[in-house]
Amino acid sequence: MSDFDEMYRPNEDHDAIRAATRDICEGKVAQFAAEADEKAEFPQASFDALKAADLHAPHIPEQYGGFGADALATVIIIEEIARVCASSSLIPAVNKLGTVPLILAASDEIKQKYFPQVAEGKMFSYCLSEAEAGSDAASMKTRAVRDGDDYVLNGQKVWISNAGVSEFYTVFAVTDPEKRSKGISCFVVEKSDEGVSFDAPEKKLGIKGSPTRTVRFENVRIPASRMVGEEGTGFITAMRTLDHTRVTIAAQALGIAQGALDYAMGYIKERKQFGQAIADFQGIQWMVAEMGMKIEAARQLTYAAAARSERGDADLTYYGAAAKCMASDVAMEVTTNAVQLLGGYGYTRDYPVERMMRDAKITQIYEGTNQVQRIVMAKQLLKGLPENR
């Protein structure tokens, strides 16, 4: 067996993590999913359950007091949480998104300061997008101006997941406007820093239990020691981060799809029409077969991407984009079909599949739209992928 096979295939530890996560999710998370969606409130009870089990930020290394989950274990955890509650799955997913820049580029001092706090339960968010700089992130306007031993930040970031709940924020800002992407730097900003404020939560189609807000910075003074990496390297760090964390969005989409299929299969076995369970009708069986087939294809691609994330392979950019794109497209198709399988009941909030359909949509949009993912994949293919597949 090759090293790749050992990394790619879940081992006994991964299986145990899946089983334990599923038990916690079914016992302590699933029951709050509908309420979090209905009230558009952060699922604190779910967070508390995940935190108690070290599942709120499982990727934090053991040396900082974390669980130390590898990339595949983290994917499995997010997948299992999303199977019952997509909003709750953004707790470990966003914590990873916010801290990967530190893992990739931060000083030991920054890691020692923040990682133990995340392991203990404080959350991290990622601040890249702006109103006029979405897919074109290099066009950001948020500025960070050097002033002695400090930097002073001014600007705003939009669509920030878990904003207001998180204590810490990885913020990308322009330090040299003449250099475009090479003039962007990365900083850690704390919620308590003077001048940091949050708009009201966005009113969204799905993932309503994960607050999405605009974060504003008005003359926010932070020490230069909170810069992540060297000045001017922020954009590279941001893009490298997304290579890794698109895999976690693929995991989220995968979990949503699996949850919808599981529920729909239970329903069609019980629902009777024309004197028999609708699961006995060939047309229904074909739909279920198609759903299951596509979910498993997405799962295999996602796990392959997770293995590359763990190793830092040169073709991670391609595989991360491919996994995110495929899994989210599959999630949208599977959840829509799950609603169809439940008929009129599927269209009501009394059943979870309509929530899953709404939640699935965002996975095609955030961390790079699927149109952008296809551009990324095409560029990687055209220049030639490394020969390590």
Active site residues: 367
Three-class DSSP category at 247: helix
Q: Where are the alpha helices (DSSP H) in the chain?
A: 3-8, 12-28, 30-39, 44-52, 71-84, 86-105, 108-120, 234-270, 282-311, 316-342, 353-362, 370-383
CB 283 within 8 A of CB 256: no
Provide the terminal-to-terminal Cα distance of the chain, rounded to the nearest Å: 15
- Answer left, alpha or beta for residue 162, where phi above 0 means left and psi between -120 and 50 means alpha: left
DSSP state of 67: -
CB 294 within 8 A of CB 334: yes
Instruction: Pick the closest to residue 79 from 342, 259, 335, 341 (CA basis).
Output: 259
160 φ/ψ angles, rounded to the nearest 5 degrees: -90, 115
Three-class DSSP category at 175: coil
Q: Partners of 160 in the beta sheet? A: 213
